Amino acid sequence: MQANNATGLTDIQMMDGKLFKLIVARIEDYAIYMIDPNGYILSWNKGAENIKGYTDDEVIGKHVSIFYTPQDIKNNVPRINLNEALKNGVHEDEGWRVRKDGTLFWANVVFTTIYNEDGHLTGFAKVTRDITERKKNEDRKTLINAELEMRVKENTEKIIANETRFRQLIENSYDGILLIEKKLNVIYRSKSSQRIDGWQNNEGLAVTITDLAHPHDREMLERVITGLLKHPATTVISTYRSRHKNGNYIWLECVFTNMTNDVNINAIVCNFRDVTEKKKAEEEIKQLNETLERKVIERTTQLEAANKELEAFSYSVSHDLRTPLRAVNGYAIMLREDFGEMLGAEGNRIIDTITNNARLMGQLIDDLLTFSRTGRKELQLFDVNMHKLAAACTRELLENVPGNYKINIDELPACKADSSMIKQVWMNLIGNAIKYSSKADDPEIEIGFIAGNDRHTYFIKDNGVGFDMQYSDKLFGIFQRLHRMDEFEGTGVGLALVKRIIDKHEGKVWAESQPGRGAVFYFSLPCNK
């Protein structure tokens, strides 16, 4: 090993010093520069220009206070930081810094005191990183990790002296840095890598990077690096488990750059960081998703069982309840035909009440069965002429209704819908308008629509009794009624059926009204349905 007579440095030391200076000069994501003992800037790298906005011509010779806020300057923060570095050798600080254009960014800054071979202070090495986004994301508890920061890119174009100065700059990097030879032995470890995996630069150098990999990840890592070695000057990213010095495994995310074709480096450069916590969070999310999927399956099974029970109930209602109901109605009619004169007016009134309630009970059974079947029925979508359908429903509903109704039907746009279900909607809403306007002196009903960008809204407006809007939340619930049975007959199922049908069509239904001033019922359907 030959020493340089002028400097006393070995050739290898000079090569390493130039290597580190070259690496620093090409780093674009960290501001790395030198300042003299009084805080004036002596050097400037590309990362400093990117972060702070100044070129080296604009900034060299300036005082570092130009990067501080007026309040920090007033509080003498620049001098305090230098004093702390002088006192402790290294000082780390975070705070707002000012770019050339006046904008602020949150910076992480490391000051390192530099001495010459005689032990005299020559200045400070300063490493600045823009961590504004990380600062913002710290308050977001639901985020697992901030996105991975850009890795330090290493290049070798020049070899320059002064190993100690630039080695200290590299050692303050937040990423671990390894140099790996072609046989995969680690020939250099930065101090920052020791903070991550516990291995020091002089430990385990004979152990390959794949030897430290988890047995389940070793084959994958060997395949990645073998492929990388075939393509010089390329970069790959790999995530795997590596053995910590204390024996446990941690997750590392590594950026491997093949620099074996560069005579100054002749190695694979690896920048890595610990992503164990991120992996744990991802695993927790995976387990939560699996739990959710299992619960969905269980809930689906429960719903299928409930549907089977509902089908059984519907069968019972359809067959078992109708028989005694028909018997009650039949015997009441026979009683009136055979003994009507003997029963008198009160007896015949009671029989009428029995037959009327039997009829209402039969209608309620029909409505409940329709409501139940609608929930299970699959939509059969076709083009529906809404104008003709609304007009046909109106004629059908008015056939046996006394009174002179004034009904106006606008030209209604067609839509894609299940025609039988949409007919149920028109029958219920128009039927309600006829029923609740029947006591008006001049009952009037208007059927129209409101065009929209992505949906058509149809409405049925009447001048009937209306209702109080504070009870509007009850309108579309099953068996919910806003009027007494002796005022207006009904089963309390119709509007609930309307809502179920419109929901199946991915639409909406609602109403507006005032007591004594009529009501307007709206339902909307997507235009593309």
Identify which of 160, 178, 123, 174 has the alpha carbon closest to the alpha carbon of residue 21: 160
Q: What is the SS3 assignment for 88-157?
A: HCEEEEEEEEECCCCCEEEEEEEEEEEECCCCCEEEEEEEEEECHHHHHHCCCCCCCCCCCCCCCCCCCC
Give the model's confidence band at 10: pLDDT under 50 very low, under 70 low, under 90 confident, else very high. very low
Region of residue 119 (left: phi > 0; alpha: psi -120 to 50; beta: else) = left
pLDDT in tens, 120-170: 999 999 999 998 888 887 756 545 553 444 443 444 344 444 455 555 555
pLDDT in tens, 185-196: 888 888 888 888
Tell me how far apart the alpha carbons of residues 529 and 490 are, in angstroms, rounded to a whole number.
31
Tell me how far apart the alpha carbons of residues 232 and 262 are, in angstroms, rounded to a whole number.
9
- Quote the percentage of the chain above a pLDDT of 90: 21
Q: Which residue has the higher pLDDT, 45 or 202?
A: 45
Question: Given the structure tokens 């997507």, which residue do they identify?
Answer: 526
Tell me how far apart the alpha carbons of residues 92 and 113 are, in angstroms, rounded to a whole number.
12
pLDDT in tens, 38-58: 999 999 999 889 999 999 899
Say if CB 110 and CB 31 are below 8 A apart.
Answer: no
DSSP for 398-463, written as a single string: HTT--S--EEEEPPPPPEEE-HHHHHHHHHHHHHHHHHHTTTSSS-EEEEEEE--SSEEEEEEEE-
DSSP for 209-273, written as a single string: TTTSB-HHHHHHHHHHHHHHHTSTT-EEEEEEEEE-TTS-EEEEEEEEEE-TT-TTT-SEEEEEE
Say if CB 109 and CB 68 are below 8 A apart.
Answer: no
Residue 50: half-sphere exposure toward Cβ, Cα within 13 Å: 14
Determine the pLDDT at residue 143: 54
Tell me whether strands 382-384 and 415-417 are parallel, antiparallel or unpaired.
antiparallel
pLDDT in tens, 439-495: 888 888 999 988 877 788 899 999 888 887 776 667 776 555 555 554 555 555 678
67 DSSP 8-state letter: G
Tell me how far apart the alpha carbons of residues 66 and 341 are, in angstroms, rounded to a whole number.
112
Q: Which residues pair with 123 in a beta bridge?
A: 114
